[in-house]
Amino acid sequence: MKKVNGLILALICTLFSAASFGQKVFTDCSAAFLNSKIVVDSYTDQGKCLLSSRATGELTVCTVNLSPTESKAVDKIAFKIAIRDKDTKTVLLYSNENFKQVAIERVLAKCKKGDHIMLLTLDNKYAMPHNEILVQ
């Protein structure tokens, strides 16, 4: 019983401290870019991220300036990469390294068609709804 009470107290303290600091999460939109071109076909709920297994260039994750005519990269942000295997659905961290840019060829060398490249932001102020890229 003491453990349960201690756990409840710890939870309440955690919630109180987060509320006290007024931390706002997911305030800045971000997206994946390949050679300065946004990867997602539409920055909407139905948007899809697809890349050819023969794609080349620099993969980045950037804050994004959205307008009706274009989606423009603003600032590069740090991210990690994981790969979800097509067959087993196992997610494996690509590297312990934090990236601001990476040659997509290096990542694709570890992928096969049907795998998903998963991009993870390192700061909870960045919303990234299109964080999985299907390798075709």
Residue-range definition of the domain harbouring residue 33:
24-135
Beta strand extents in the chain (DSSP E only): 28-34, 37-38, 50-51, 58-66, 71-76, 79-84, 91-93, 102-103, 116-121, 126-127, 132-135
Has residue 5 been placed in a domain? Answer: no
Has residue 81 been placed in a domain? Answer: yes
Has residue 13 been placed in a domain? Answer: no
- Cβ-contact 57, 104 below 8 angstroms: yes
Has residue 8 been placed in a domain? Answer: no
**pLDDT tens digit sequence for 12-37:** 434 444 444 556 899 999 999 999 99
What percent of the chain shows pLDDT beyond 90?
Answer: 71
Is residue 11's pLDDT more than 50? no
Q: Give the pairing type, strands 132-135 and 102-103.
A: unpaired
Is residue 108's pLDDT more than 80? yes
**pLDDT tens digit sequence for 43-64:** 888 999 999 999 999 999 999 9
Length in residues, the chain: 136
Has residue 78 been placed in a domain? Answer: yes
Q: How many domains does the chain have?
A: 1
Q: Which helix (H) or strand (E) holds 20?
A: helix 2-21
SS3 52: coil
Has residue 58 been placed in a domain? Answer: yes
Has residue 97 been placed in a domain? Answer: yes
With cut-offs at 50, 70 and 90, classify the pLDDT of residue 66.
confident
For CA atoms 90, 95, 96, 102, give the dihedral sign: negative
Has residue 2 been placed in a domain? Answer: no
